[in-house]
Every structure is written in structure tokens, then in C-alpha cells.
Amino acid sequence: MKVLANDGISVSGAQALEKLGHELLDVKVAQDQLIEYINKNGVEALLVRSATKVRTDIIDACESLKVIGRGGVGMDNIDVDYARDKGLHVINTPAASSQSVAELCMAHLYGMVRFLHDANRQMPLDGDSRFKELKKNYGGGIELQGRTLGIIGFGRIGQALAKLAVGVGMKVVMTDLIAGNQVITKVFYDGQTAEFEIKNLSMEELLKSSDFVSIHIPGGNLISKEQIEMMKDGAGIINASRGGVINEPDLIQALESGKLRYAALDVFENEPSPAIKVLMSPYISLSPHIGAATLEAQDRIGVELAEKIDAIAKGEV
């Protein structure tokens, strides 16, 4: 197949495609020029991440297309049902980035309970003149050990995060549409394993009992003022799933009033131009949608996409 990786592909993915006998076009084509490029070059497989949008106009206008691939989990930038109705294969890599997203959530957790996100802003500005004052300002951190982490959405990422959290001594609960409690297996560096039962609570129970809440669902409007009011005073919340899952104005109000003490966002309502009030808030630990952006995850994503394309080309799926 002739494959266009419009948002890039890892070296491992490129090598895998070429080894399997497929032609890779690793270029970046502007959105408004994509139809012309695909038709001119006879592109059969279009690979994207989150930047390129694959809507009905591309699907209708590009007769050579057979496969649309998303490097990652969410496919909200692709008209999936429409493409499949037209006979196209739509693929993604739901497992490849789970560990990377989970580790980013833990990084935000560790950073925000010690106020590192704000300390790293202020130290370069005032560290030489207000050292003692800053030390006092950021001296009220807490430990994660013994705290309760509530995970909303217990898919691959939620489970990966649970394994990390129990490893540092946190109690983990979750809410998910799956039935009953779930058992996770934590594998340690020397091959030893330990099993932990994670209770499946109602949303209300989880919000009321958790010190920190981490969201891992495909999308929707989940957390606003009503849900925040259910949470513990001084609790924290993390969103590394989809922008808009948390109502940002309600979140800012809760942080400024002291209802919530901690928040971390990797995704935003208005990507790629997040609201200035969110970006300037000293209460929010921020990252620019980098949950899956590790070298290891990108290698896994590239190789998995290559293998799926090859299976489609051979008629195995």
C-alpha cells in the first residue's frame, strides 16, 4: 500500500512499513490541500494523529483511500461511522499509549501536591530575592501515600494508572460501566506479582470519597459545578482524556474559591488555543496534550499501525 503519515510516524513504524513492502510518504500536507495530494499520489492509507481531520469531504473525494489510521486512542477527528459505511477500514492503537498516559497523570499528581508547577514559574523570577517567602508559600505539600485516587473510566489507561498508584501506596477506587469490582495485577521489576481488587463505585460515591479524581473516558460533558460540589473540600482532579470533559470556568471558580486545591489538565476545551484564564491560573498543572508523546509509545503506535495495514493489505481482516 501507499501510505501517507500526515502527522508523522516513528522511525520504528516507518521501518516496519518499509520492511513489510509498503511505500511510505512521510510528509506534512496542509488540511486544505490533502484531497488534492491524496488523489494525485494515489494514497491508499492515511495515518493521522490529532492534528489532521478526516471528515466526509476527504472520504467522499478520495477514491483511492482504503484505510484511515489514528495513532492513538481517540478518533474524534475522524468521521469513523461514515468512513466504515463507505467501506473503508478505520484503525487505531488503543493499547500502545496506556502506560505513557498513566505515567503523565502520576507526574501531574506528584507535581501538583508539591506545587512544582507554580514553583517552577516563580523561582526563575524571584528565587534570588524572595527565596524564604517562596519556601514558605510552597511548604504545605502533602504525600500521595495513603490518599484515595478515584478513576473515572477503567479501560486500559485507567488500569495502568491504578497499577502505578497502588505501587506508591494509594488506595484506588473506580467507576465504570463494567459490572462489579475488578482485579488488577501489578508486575514488579523482578517478576513478582501482586493482585489488588479495585471497587467499582457509583459516580457520586467516587466523587465523595476520593482525594484525587482522574478522568479516562472518550468524551462528553462529565464534570461541572454540580459534580465538583460532591467532591471533598481541598480535593484534586486530573483530565488527560478529552477537552470539554471538565467545564473549565466551573473548575477555575472551584479552585479560586478553595473548594478544590489541585487540578491538572493535559487536554483543553479550545485546543490548540486554550483559554488564557486556564493557562494563567497558578492552581493548574498544565501540559500541551502530551499523554501519548513518549518515544516508547510512539514506537509501539508506529509498529502496530504498520502491522494492521499489512494485515488489511493481505486480506486478513
Q: Which residues are catalytic?
A: 242, 271, 289
- C-beta of residue 213 within 8 angstroms of C-beta of residue 148: no
Three-state DSSP at 150 gives strand
Cβ-Cβ contacts under 8 Å for 153 (sequence gap 6 or more): 174, 175, 176, 215, 216, 217, 241
User: How many angstroms separate the CA atoms of 288 and 68, rounded?
Assistant: 25
Per-residue three-class SS string for 298-309:
HHHHHHHHHHHH
Question: Residue 177 gets which letter from DSSP?
Answer: S
3-state secondary structure 118-136: HHHHHHHHHCCCCHHHHHH
Structural contact between residues 25 and 45, judged by C-beta atoms closer than 8 angstroms? no
Task: Compute the radius of gyration of the chain from its Cα atoms.
Answer: 22
Distance CA 101, CA 297 (A): 9
Q: Which helix (H) or strand (E) holds 230?
A: helix 225-230
- Give the amino acid at 135: K
Report the sign of the C-alpha dihedral through residues 166, 196, 304, 35, in that order.
Answer: negative
Residue 95 to residue 311: CA distance in whole angstroms:
18
Kindly state the helix (H) or strand (E) to which residue 173 belongs, with its residue range: strand 171-175
